[in-house]
Amino acid sequence: QVQLVESGGGVVQPGGSLRLSCAASGFTFRSYGIHWVRQAPGKGLEWVAFIRSDGSNEPNAESVKGRFTISRDDYKNTVYLQMNSLRPEDTGVYYCAKDDPVLANWGQGTLVTVSS
């Protein structure tokens, strides 16, 4: 069955960086795009970034443009989200999701806390 496992979250100071990973299994990873979606504490869902199966991507959400970069390693069946210049408003749970062609399968999420 499809499984997505996020990791790499933690506590970071404003201005710092984190790299999230999304490890996939149970499907032909190289054939599918992957999205990142986040959820601030007690708030709704916000789409963040998307990478296609061919490695191309759409522009990120405006709120993270120029700071976050999505990439993939098909040998490791893993998608990454490099997050730089982190702000307190980036705090939340970050989910990765398989594109099929919507957010068909989600991971359990990883918590990112940006605080001094």
Partner 1 sequence: DIQMTQSPSTLSASVGDRVTITCRASQSISYWLAWYQQKPGKAPILIYKASSLESGVPSRFSGSGSGTEFTLTISSLQPDDFATYYCQQYNTFPWTFGQGTKVEIK
State the residue for tokens 């120029």: 66
Min CB(52)–partner 1 separation in Å: 11
- Which residues, 6 or more positions from 5, have their beta carbon under 8 angstroms from its beta carbon? 22, 23, 24, 107, 108
Contact between 27 and partner 1 by CB under 8 A: the answer reads: no
Nearer Cβ to partner 1, position 35 or 72?
35
Q: Tell me which stretch binds partner 1 (CB under 8 A): 15-23, 69-77, 78-86, 102-110.
A: 102-110
Contact between 47 and partner 1 by CB under 8 A: the answer reads: yes
Q: In whole angstroms, what is the distance from residue 71 CA to residue 75 CA?
A: 13
Please pick, from the candidates 32, 36, 50, 80, the single residue that binds partner 1 as defined by CB under 8 A. Answer: 50
Give the residue from 73, 41, 45, 77 showing the smallest Cα distance to 61. Answer: 45
Nearer Cβ to partner 1, position 33 or 78?
33
Q: Tell me which stretch binds partner 1 (CB under 8 A): 12-20, 74-82, 83-91, 95-103.
A: 95-103
Q: For the stretch 10-46, what's the b/e string if a residue is b when 16 or more beta carbons lie within 10 angstroms of its beta carbon?
A: eebeeeeebebbbbbeebebeebbbbbbbeeeeeeee
Min CB(81)–partner 1 separation in Å: 15
